[in-house]
Amino acid sequence: MARSFSTFELKQLENNPNVLKVSDRSITYHPEFKKLAVHAYKEGASPTEIFLEHGFDLSVIGKEQPKRCLQRWRDTYSKYGEAGLENERRSKGSTGRPSSKHLTAEEKLKKAEARIKYLEAENEFLKKLEEMERQAMKKKQN
């Protein structure tokens, strides 16, 4: 599950000129930064170096984020050129997880049953975890 940015982290990211917009869970990078990053990578800079040099705090965005972004941007660049980096491809118009609008009633039911099964398993796990925490607290108190 993706982590949420704190208010302080959001402000820090908003103040970075290489960020176009930021929400509590995602960052949209400026197209010029994407182009610059791809070119810098081609010239031998590592993803981490590129992000650090442009004011990103890896403890905020995550140490793997530069690598993931550069991989995605390089793929986009190889398919669409620089123009591909100018448009956000992860929004409403992008292909991705199929919409539930196109599912049959049977598919929707199967999906709902799978979700229920997952949530039941999650609840059982949390109950066991709480019990283990209670036992650990009892041991600690004794």
On average, the pLDDT of the chain sits at: 88
Percent of the chain past pLDDT 70, that is, above it, reads 89
pTM for the full predicted model? 0.60
Sorting pLDDT into bands at 50, 70 and 90, what band is 83?
Answer: confident
Domain identity same for 68 and 124: no
Domain identity same for 64 and 109: no
User: Tell me: the pLDDT tens digits for 44-68?
Assistant: 999 999 999 999 999 999 999 999 9
Domain identity same for 14 and 52: yes
Domain identity same for 11 and 74: yes
Q: Contact at 8 Å (CB) between 37 and 70?
A: yes
Number of domains in the chain: 2
Domain identity same for 15 and 72: yes
* pLDDT above 70 (res 96): no
Range with lowest mean pLDDT among 17-31, 47-61, 77-91, 107-121: 77-91
Domain identity same for 75 and 109: no
* pLDDT above 80 (res 102): no
Listed in sequence order, the DSSP H helices in the chain are 7-14, 31-42, 47-53, 58-61, 65-80, 82-86, 105-141
Domain identity same for 64 and 120: no
Q: Which two tokens stand for residue 14?
A: 């908003």
pLDDT value of residue 91: 53
* pLDDT above 70 (res 2): no
User: Tell me: the pLDDT tens digits for 3-28?
Assistant: 789 999 999 999 999 999 999 889 99
Asked if residue 93 is part of any domain, the answer here is no
Domain identity same for 25 and 78: yes
By residue range, what is the domain housing residue 126?
Answer: 105-141
Mean pLDDT calculated for residue range 96-113: 76
Asked if residue 97 is part of any domain, the answer here is no
pLDDT value of residue 101: 64
C-alpha–C-alpha distance, residues 35 and 74, integer Å:
9
